[in-house]
A and B are shown apart, each in its own frame.
Chain A
């Protein structure tokens, strides 16, 4: 894969606070145009990673390239190509929604090109995020969900080539979360925007992301499409059936093989067959369980 096809390249990324390595050799790539979810439990270093990519935090060591530039030394031109959805909760509360978007957008005009006209016209953008009827409302009077949609709109107003979101749906109810996913999908397919988001919620990663990278204990322990990840961890499939009125259950790697064998041997006696393929959810939970157990063991050893 050529350099131009990678929006983000991270290799050997290390972040040390005092004597503790929060990130220890993080390695992953994000391809141009894809949505990558950085998935991991709380405290895994997701926020630290994304803040390094945003250029808001200096790393201890390692190489990082975002749109071909090291964010630690990035200029305003680079900043104009990157959209950041900040969760700053109550800023500009007295500003009107449309006014704030137009103001934020005005900073991007010098970076407009024929290929990417900047900024995104306010009326269009408000329409895209479902706030068209709120243009004249003060930001402070928006509901929580509307406020977050405005945050996304501000992240998108400069027509970024890359959008970075840190835990964008924390505190959302399922409905709001669903709407948010729709919004990100619509906004990103429309302009082929590359997206990196962090989440601790596996189902969110599965629904939204083309690929998922799992960050645990300061490094990427697995990366791939949700399907690849599930098979990579070789979780066991669950097979249930009844045989002459008795229920059976077996956990096997090759569920298809087991079923073939069952029918071959018992034929008509097999009833109520159920096959549950290993889901990413069970493997992820098992994985997190493992990580926690290791951490506990380490603490015990240290004590």
Chain B
């Protein structure tokens, strides 16, 4: 293992400890728990033989994997603003280590969200039924999903201007989630909206998670009444491949532009806004 990879894992673990202790922990718990509460209240609306809550539970798991994209973008934007990235750049192989650290941090954070969501969810909401094949599906959808969304998030984070820009990003992502069949079966939407949703990873992550965790009857509300594993793998795989090919260029360009005076410029802008 290279020094940069090892240092990156170390950084990831240190930042995980920071984000899952003290008051930071409460902020981490808020979204998965809030989602869980919403699902609980919807648990009895029956659709295709299963409760809506049971349908949303695995869909939200997919959504949280996709939200890793926003987390990555936010971290990158903030780290550029406060000079973390500049420091990485001033260190031999530091940028590689930095990105590895973020990958570890966001991936484990997403995993933690899934555990917080699914373990109590399975007990309280119920309706899940996963066998060994189901968990295998869960695993490959999760891994492909992380690979599809994080390079994308890193690119978005390097293109936006500062942490405010990263905040603006969450609007289109929320819109995308709304049309991706997370909170209601996508087949209830207009055809053109379905078509848009199927371009992006959020829908496929939800579908993949539902196929892994729901009983077979639930397939009735899906497009073509099929779990479409091949298409899921192809769509997520394509995003992952594109991201892994393009992201290094975008990130290198971003890193190349960092310097002390740019960090200083952003600091001055930020102080102006505050003052």
Q: Which residues of A contact B (CB under 8 A)?
A: 47-48, 50-51, 54, 56-57, 76-77, 79-80, 84, 86-95, 99, 103-104, 106-111, 154, 158, 166
**Most chain B beta-carbon contacts within 10 A, residue among A93, A104, A158:** A104
Q: Measured between C-beta atoms, what is the minimum distance from A1 to chain B in Å?
A: 29
Q: Which 3 A-B pairs have the closest CB atoms?
A: A88-B83, A56-B259, A91-B84
CB pair B259 A57 closer than 8 Å = yes
Sample (26) of A-B pairs whose CB atoms are under 8 Å apart:
A47-B260, A48-B261, A54-B260, A80-B92, A86-B83, A86-B90, A86-B263, A87-B263, A88-B82, A88-B84, A88-B87, A89-B267, A90-B82, A90-B83, A91-B84, A91-B86, A92-B87, A93-B82, A94-B15, A95-B14, A99-B14, A103-B11, A107-B91, A107-B94, A107-B97, A110-B3
Q: Measured between C-beta atoms, what is the minimum distance from B264 to chain A in Å?
A: 7
Q: How far is the CA of A94 from the CA of B260 in the complex (A)?
A: 21
Q: How far is the CA of A79 from the CA of B259 in the complex (A)?
A: 15
Closest residue of chain A to B24, judged by CB?
A94
CB pair B94 A54 closer than 8 Å = no
Residues of A within 8 A of B11 (CB): 103
Q: How far is the CA of A80 from the CA of B83 in the complex (A)?
A: 19
Closest residue of chain B to A56, judged by CB?
B259
Closest residue of chain B to A83, judged by CB?
B90
Q: How far is the CA of A22 from the CA of B94 in the complex (A)?
A: 30
CB pair B86 A94 closer than 8 Å = no
Residues of B within 8 A of A54 (CB): 90, 259-260
Q: Measured between C-beta atoms, what is the minimum distance from B40 to chain A in Å?
A: 33
Residues of A within 8 A of B259 (CB): 51, 54, 56-57
Q: Which residues of B contact A (CB under 8 A)?
A: 3-4, 6-7, 10-11, 14-15, 18, 79, 82-84, 86-87, 89-94, 97, 258-261, 263-264, 267
Q: Measured between C-beta atoms, what is the minimum distance from A87 to chain B in Å?
A: 6
CB pair A51 B260 closer than 8 Å = yes
Q: How far is the CA of A92 from the CA of B79 in the complex (A)?
A: 9
Q: Measured between C-beta atoms, what is the minimum distance from B258 to chain A in Å?
A: 7
Q: Measured between C-beta atoms, what is the minimum distance from B16 to chain A in Å?
A: 11
Q: Measured between C-beta atoms, what is the minimum distance from B228 to chain A in Å?
A: 43
Residues of B within 8 A of A107 (CB): 3-4, 7, 91-94, 97
CB pair B260 A166 closer than 8 Å = yes
Q: Measured between C-beta atoms, what is the minimum distance from B201 to chain A in Å?
A: 30
Q: Measured between C-beta atoms, what is the minimum distance from A170 to chain B in Å?
A: 10
CB pair A91 B82 closer than 8 Å = yes
Q: How far is the CA of A104 from the CA of B91 in the complex (A)?
A: 7
Closest residue of chain B to A107, judged by CB?
B91
Residues of B within 8 A of A104 (CB): 87, 91
Residues of A within 8 A of B89 (CB): 56
Closest residue of chain A to B18, judged by CB?
A94
Q: How far is the CA of A273 from the CA of B259 in the complex (A)?
A: 54
Residues of B within 8 A of A92 (CB): 84, 87
Residues of B within 8 A of A108 (CB): 92
Q: How far is the CA of A87 from the CA of B83 in the complex (A)?
A: 8
CB pair B87 A154 closer than 8 Å = yes
